[in-house]
Amino acid sequence: MSQSDRVYLYDTTLRDGAQTMGVDFSAADKAAIARELDALGIDYIEGGWPGANPTDDAFFAALPDLSRARLAAFGMTRRAGRSAANDPGLSAVLGVGAPVVTLVGKTWDFQCKVALGIDPDENRRMVADSVAHATTRAGEVMFDAEHFFDGYRDNAAYALSCLEAALEAGARWVVLCDTNGGTLPEEVERMVGEVTARLPGDRVGIHCHNDTATAVASSLAAVRAGARQVQGTVNGLGERCGNADLIAIIPSLMLKMGFETGLAGPDLARLTQVSRKFDERLNRAPNRHAAYVGESAFAHKGGLHVSAVEKDPRCYEHIIPDLVGNRRQILVSDQSGRSNVLSRFREIGIEVEPDNPKIAHLLEEVKLREFNGYAYDGAEASFELLAREVLDEVPVFFSLNSFRVIDERRWNAKGELITLSEATVKATIHGQQTMTVAEGNGPVSALDTALRKILIPVYPTIAGLKLVDYKVRILNPDAATNAVTRVLIESADDRGGRWTTVGVSSNVIDASYIALRDSVIFKLMRDGETGE
């Protein structure tokens, strides 16, 4: 495959995605998402804007260790009337030591006059100076040509001159941005084609917004017209109506258009998992109807469809769902569910005969639990535990006899209003009944502390287990405070392990205990503890 058939993927979830209404990443979220995207095979990960807010500063202060992707720090061109070397904003962006720096700058003369109040020639100098200065500090510099399509429509010569200024100043890529998201795919294809007739396509990128619900189509049209870098976000997060959704773009590029990306086949097969795990992190329900990765993308309901798909899935499927890690759901048969369980077993490393009757039992149990609110997509450790329990492979590490949690809200001696929680846990370990009490700043923290206190003397490795994330989702909000809650707990240990467990109950503390218990047992199993 020639060089021109390689498309570079640039993820801006942690920057443009952070501009989504209602989304607020922590620095730890950002680091975890960056690791996930790195493992997927994304070429560039834009981590945020150093100097713009404390979260981005904290993220860049401890650069995540990436093995496949290059980390980009985002910022804007120098301010008018300053030198690039003396611009504090630019210095903050360049100061974090990211291997890639992406600078946004105007390319629409109207914006120069109205938004910046400066002469367009000064703006072009700002672009050139800033890019040139950035090349002295970063290995690779990109120029995000803001409002390129609106600018090109109004004054093509000026918009192009900004691109040329950036390239001459040393930019590796110029990225054409449809910042307002109003350009339709046909226009994008024409304009990108005109750009790539003058500039090499492997220096040109595309960055589309979804204000006309065509960001994915426009991004693919730009690639057809010669652009070789595509910017987007996971699940289409982004300012206003979102950015182009990389989760839809990647399989279209690879499976439909025959392009090579940084993802290999096995990476592509993780796409569904990455998309859903990301939604779990944001504590929002995955879009069932999402192209390629939605739960409904390969679910067949109509009688005509089911009958034909059973003869040959190609009758009603545009690709094999496994290619993107999704699964076919045929509602009249449980054979597909069985295959799915077997394929998960292979992933986990559980060896079992395909005709083992326990598989059908596990399948029923998973279906029943999912009906009751469990979601195993984002809680792989709970699924593995359930599977091993059905196969009688989980030792009894401890038995909970009871727990009680009390919350107290009162004024302390200094006259301050405080809320304290206290948990009492009674359990049997190795035949011995034991009881402990612990306090916490909330009921789950008190319960967690009490559970550890009781387990650590027998299983010392539990001291290395910590909860790194805790999320609650109400599953039936109409029931108000009687609603069923789903708790997801992400845990990590001092051996580099990281896993997620799930608990469901109409009582949030009970749901939390179920997820906590799974986490602890999963850890003990991984550590090779044998239990009773």
Ligand X SMILES: CC(=O)SCCNC(=O)CCNC(=O)[C@H](O)C(C)(C)COP(=O)(O)OP(=O)(O)OC[C@H]1O[C@@H](n2cnc3c(N)ncnc32)[C@H](O)[C@@H]1OP(=O)(O)O
Q: Which residues bind ligand X (CB under 6 A)?
A: 16, 19, 49, 52-53, 76-77, 79, 104-106, 115-116, 126, 146, 179, 239
202 binding ligand CC(=O)C(=O)O? (CB under 6 A): no
- Please report how close the Cβ of residue 19 comes to ligand CC(=O)C(=O)O at its closest, in angstroms: 8
- Please report how close the Cβ of residue 104 comes to ligand CC(=O)C(=O)O at its closest, in angstroms: 4
177 binding ligand CC(=O)C(=O)O? (CB under 6 A): yes
Residue 487 CA to residue 445 CA, distance in Å, equals: 14
144 binding ligand CC(=O)C(=O)O? (CB under 6 A): yes
- Please report how close the Cβ of residue 222 comes to ligand CC(=O)C(=O)O at its closest, in angstroms: 14
CA-based nearest residue to 276, from 327, 320, 207, 342: 327
DSSP state of 413: T
- Please report how close the Cβ of residue 249 comes to ligand X at its closest, in angstroms: 19
Residue nearest to ligand X (CB): 52
Residue 236 vs 337, nearer CB to ligand X: 236
Which of ligand X, ligand CC(=O)C(=O)O, none does residue 523 bind to, with CB < 5 to 8 Å depending on kind? none
Residue 20 vs 505, nearer CB to ligand X: 20
106 binding ligand CC(=O)C(=O)O? (CB under 6 A): no
What residue has token string 């005969």?
353
CA-based nearest residue to 516, from 452, 469, 448, 440: 448
Which of ligand X, ligand CC(=O)C(=O)O, none does residue 105 bind to, with CB < 5 to 8 Å depending on kind? ligand X
Contact 186, 153 (CB under 8 A): no
Evaluated on CA atoms 313, 314, 316, 321, the torsion sign reads positive
- Please report how close the Cβ of residue 57 comes to ligand X at its closest, in angstroms: 11
Query: Own/partner pairs for 54-61, CB < 8 Å, 24+ apart?
Result: 55/25, 55/26, 55/27, 55/30, 56/27, 56/30, 58/27, 59/14, 59/27, 59/30, 59/31, 60/96, 60/98, 61/96
Residue 117 CA to residue 103 CA, distance in Å, equals: 19
Q: How many residues does the chain have?
A: 532
- Please report how close the Cβ of residue 469 comes to ligand X at its closest, in angstroms: 25
52, amino acid identity: A
Residue 267 CA to residue 402 CA, distance in Å, equals: 44
207 binding ligand CC(=O)C(=O)O? (CB under 6 A): yes
Binding interface with ligand CC(=O)C(=O)O (CB under 6 A): 16, 104, 144, 146, 177, 179, 207, 209
